[in-house]
Amino acid sequence: MIYARVIAAALLALSCGCRVVPRETGAGREEAAAPARESARAGPGDEYAHYCLGLIYEKKGMPEKAAAEYGLARDAAPGSALFDLKLGLLCLQEGRYADAAREFEAAAKDDPGLFDAFFYLGMAFSKQDKVEPAVEAFKRALEIEPGRELAALGLAEVLVGEKRLDDAVDVYESAVEANPENSLVWYNLGLLYVNGDMLEDAAVAFIKAGALKPRWFEPRYRLGQVYELMDRREEAIDAYSDALKINPLKIDIYRSLADLFRKLGRTGEAESKYRLLLEINPSDQNNYLALTHLHIMAKEPEKAVEVLRECREKVGDSPEVDFYLGIAYGMLDRNDDAIASYEKASGKGLASDILSFHLGAAYEQAGRFDDAVEQFREAISANPGMADAYNYLGYMYAEKGVNLDEAIELIGEALKIEPDNGAYIDSLGWAYFQKGMVDEALAELEKAAGLMGDDPTIREHLGDAYRRKGMLGRAAEEWRKALELDPDNEEIREKLSAAGEDGAGSR
pLDDT score, position 345: 93
For residue 145, what is the DSSP state? Answer: -
Instruction: Tell whether the model's pLDDT for residue 506 goes beyond 90.
Output: no
Phi first, then psi: give them for residue 469, nearest 5 degrees. Answer: -85, 0
pLDDT score, position 175: 87
By the 8 A CB rule, do 339 and 366 touch? Answer: yes
What confidence tier does 12 reach under pLDDT thresholds 50, 70, 90? very low
Percentage of residues in the chain having pLDDT higher than 70: 90
Long-range contacts of 229-236 (CB under 8 A, 24+ apart): 229/194, 229/199, 230/199, 230/200, 230/203, 233/260, 233/263, 233/264, 234/264, 236/260
Residues 260-269 pLDDT 10s: 999 999 999 9
Of the listed ranges 33-42, 53-62, 298-307, 460-469, the least confidently predicted one is 33-42
Instruction: Tell whether the model's pLDDT for residue 20 goes beyond 50.
Output: no
By the 8 A CB rule, do 183 and 212 touch? Answer: yes
By the 8 A CB rule, do 388 and 414 touch? Answer: yes
Instruction: Tell whether the model's pLDDT for residue 185 goes beyond 60.
Output: yes
What confidence tier does 162 reach under pLDDT thresholds 50, 70, 90? confident
Domain boundaries, the chain: 1-159+170-175, 180-249
The secondary structure of 297-334, three-state, reads HCCCHHHHHHHHHHHHHHCCCCHHHHHHHHHHHHHCCC
Residue 304 and residue 285: Cα distance in Å, rounded?
Answer: 14
Residue 480: how many CB atoms within 10 A of its CB? 19
Residues 205-259 pLDDT 10s: 999 999 999 999 999 999 999 999 999 999 999 999 999 999 998 989 999 999 9
pLDDT score, position 502: 52
* Report field, pTM of the whole predicted structure over 0.85: no
Q: How many residues does the chain have?
A: 507
pLDDT score, position 79: 87
Average pLDDT score over residue span 428-437: 97
Number of helices (H), then strands (E), in the chain: 29, 0
Of the listed ranges 41-55, 132-146, 255-269, 390-404, the least confidently predicted one is 41-55
Please give the torsion angle defined by the CA atoms of residues 24, 30, 31 and 34, in that order, rounded to the nearest 10 degrees: 130
Average pLDDT score over residue span 344-355: 88
Instruction: Tell whether the model's pLDDT for residue 381 goes beyond 60.
Output: yes
What confidence tier does 312 reach under pLDDT thresholds 50, 70, 90? very high
What confidence tier does 17 reach under pLDDT thresholds 50, 70, 90? very low
pLDDT score, position 35: 41
Domain 180-249 bears CATH identifier 1.25.40.10? yes
pLDDT score, position 371: 97
What confidence tier does 77 reach under pLDDT thresholds 50, 70, 90? confident
Mean pLDDT of the chain: 88
* Contact residues for 250 (Cβ-Cβ < 8 A; gap 6+): 217, 221, 243, 244
pLDDT score, position 500: 77
What confidence tier does 48 reach under pLDDT thresholds 50, 70, 90? confident
> What region does 197 belong to: left with phi over 0, alpha with psi -120 to 50, or beta?
left
CA 282 to chain CA centroid, Å, is 24
Average pLDDT score over residue span 27-36: 38
Whole-Å CA distances, 218 to 118, 223, 233, 282, 470:
31, 8, 19, 27, 69
What confidence tier does 348 reach under pLDDT thresholds 50, 70, 90? confident
| Radius of gyration of the CA atoms of the chain, in A | 37
pLDDT score, position 442: 97
Residue 243 and residue 245: Cα distance in Å, rounded?
Answer: 5
Identical fold at 1-159+170-175 and 180-249? Answer: yes
Average pLDDT score over residue span 482-495: 94
Of the listed ranges 30-44, 394-408, 432-446, the least confidently predicted one is 30-44
Higher-confidence position of 10 and 256:
256
pLDDT score, position 433: 97
What confidence tier does 501 reach under pLDDT thresholds 50, 70, 90? low
Instruction: Tell whether the model's pLDDT for residue 26 goes beyond 90.
Output: no
Average pLDDT score over residue span 127-155: 90
CA 305 to chain CA centroid, Å, is 30
CATH superfamily of 1-159+170-175: Tetratricopeptide repeat domain (1.25.40.10)
Nearest residue to 102 via CA among 112, 92, 116, 115: 92
pLDDT score, position 172: 87
pLDDT score, position 234: 97
Phi first, then psi: give them for residue 61, nearest 5 degrees. Answer: 75, 35
* Contact residues for 86 (Cβ-Cβ < 8 A; gap 6+): 51, 54, 58, 66, 70
